[in-house]
Amino acid sequence: MTLIFYPADREHPQAQLGGKASPLAALASFNLPIPDWFVLAPAACDASAMTRDVITLSESVKAELRAALGKLCPDGAPVAVRSSALDEDGIQHSFAGQLDSFSECTDR
């Protein structure tokens, strides 16, 4: 199961990229100068535990995420984390300012 999508992955399913990642993928396909990035796929949530509104990532998801972060910034530099829900900022829905991302990266 693929839990991480990279811009170079031409096979990533467009339907699994949210409102921010989908345009980034389109820009990357034209080789435009954008910052490096990756997407944690919705399947990562399915492979993890959810308690009320908090998702606790499974060990396998954490391992893939650590590997992806290691590729993105091998020197351990801080990264920006953005939410990108599948229905975000579409014709039917707008989630502007409604989603928060929190991270406890203590064991990188």
- State how far the alpha carbon of 22 is from the alpha carbons of 6, 29, 37, in Å: 11, 11, 12
Q: Write out pLDDT tens, residues 6-41.
A: 877 766 566 667 777 778 888 888 888 888 888 888
Question: Which tens digits make up the pLDDT trace of 72-84?
Answer: 989 988 888 877 6
What is the pLDDT at residue 108?
45
3-state secondary structure of 52: coil
Positive or negative: CA dihedral 82, 87, 91, 95: negative
